[in-house]
Amino acid sequence: MAQQLKWQLGTVAEIRLETPKAKSLILELPDWPTHLAGQHVDVRLTAEDGYQAQRSYSIASPPGDKHLMITVERIEAGEVSPYLTDGLRVGDRIELRGPIGGYFVWDARDGGNDGPPLFLAAGGSGIAPLMSMIRHRVSAGIKVPTRLLYSSRSYEEVIYREELDRLSAHDPTLRVIHTLTRRRPPNWMGYGRRIDRAMLADTAWRPAEKPLAFTCGPTAFVETVATHLGELGYKPERIKTERFGPTGG
């Protein structure tokens, strides 16, 4: 995109409570080009005295949707996220620019149903750009075999849980594997620890299947996933990384 992005005003059309700490903002933008799954927007807040704070948020909605969705996790003592999660009401406007990014993106049209299998690894709110990819896969009708390994602290903190359950229940080519690192419901049958090499060896596609991997989450999470996938035989250029959302603060 050989052009400069302009700041524009988005109107909050809907606020969705995703988990006790995370909310999705569904935004109406009059002048929005389409985006690619995995891209983000910069959000800018300006205080009355002119002080500005800016953060990047991944787009969670798929390309072609009428509205743009970002999901914000409240960071205690953060400068921007508490305002976005607690201070905004439907009809309020926020300033943003985008879409941004050409590295951490997936376009279903590139390979269609013959594209490489996808291995997605999410840590917490790092699910957002991967959810855009999963939703894009659905809306484009593409059935490339896809596995999502999703690490959350507890069952209540699994963002988009019902939608992921519903999508994977109706689609044998989409598998969602959860791990809950802190608290687990009684009779939990899934993983109950942080992602490690053994878990990746059990869940990721084998390198011979020529998969493409995307991982997004806190820095330590992303580096663990990227390092172990590399050790398991994934080539570096087949592992796309995005550290912490980006949702810091």
Partner 1 sequence: MQDNDLRLDGNAAGGLLNEIFPFEMTAAEATCGGCGTIRPIGEVMLYQHGMGAILRCADCDTALMRITHIRGCYRLDLSGMTNLRIASEIHQQEVHR
Query: Are the C-beta atoms of residues 1 and 20 closer than 8 Å to each other?
Result: no
φ/ψ of 157, rounded to 5, equals: -95, 10
Q: Shortest approach of partner 1 to residue 244 CB, angstroms?
A: 6
Binder among 82, 145, 230, 248 for partner 1 (CB under 8 A): 248
Rule CB under 8 A: is residue 95 a binding residue for partner 1? no
- Contacts to partner 1 from residues 28-87, by CB under 8 A: 36, 40, 42, 56, 75-77
Binder among 15, 29, 100, 140 for partner 1 (CB under 8 A): 100
Rule CB under 8 A: is residue 241 a binding residue for partner 1? yes
User: What is d(CA 25, CA 94) in angstroms, rounded to the nearest whole number?
Assistant: 11
- Contacts to partner 1 from residues 170-229, by CB under 8 A: 210, 212, 218-220
Q: Shortest approach of partner 1 to residue 35 CB, angstroms?
A: 12
Residue 49 DSSP code: T
Binder among 23, 115, 119, 180 for partner 1 (CB under 8 A): 115
Identify residue 143 by its one-letter amino acid code. Answer: K
Query: Are the C-beta atoms of residues 29 and 59 closer than 8 Å to each other?
Result: no
Strand partners for 191: 179
Binding residue count for partner 1, defined by CB under 8 A? 42
**With left for phi above 0 and alpha for psi between -120 and 50, is residue 124 left, alpha or beta?**
left
Q: Shortest approach of partner 1 to residue 71 CB, angstroms?
A: 16
User: What is d(CA 243, CA 192) in angstroms, rounded to the nearest whole number?
Assistant: 23
Rule CB under 8 A: is residue 114 a binding residue for partner 1? yes
Binder among 14, 92, 110, 231 for partner 1 (CB under 8 A): 110
Q: Shortest approach of partner 1 to residue 186 CB, angstroms?
A: 30
Q: Shortest approach of partner 1 to residue 36 CB, angstroms?
A: 8
Residues near partner 1 (CB under 8 A): 1-5, 36, 40, 42, 56, 75-77, 97-98, 100-107, 110-111, 114-116, 210, 212, 218-220, 237-238, 240-244, 246, 248-249
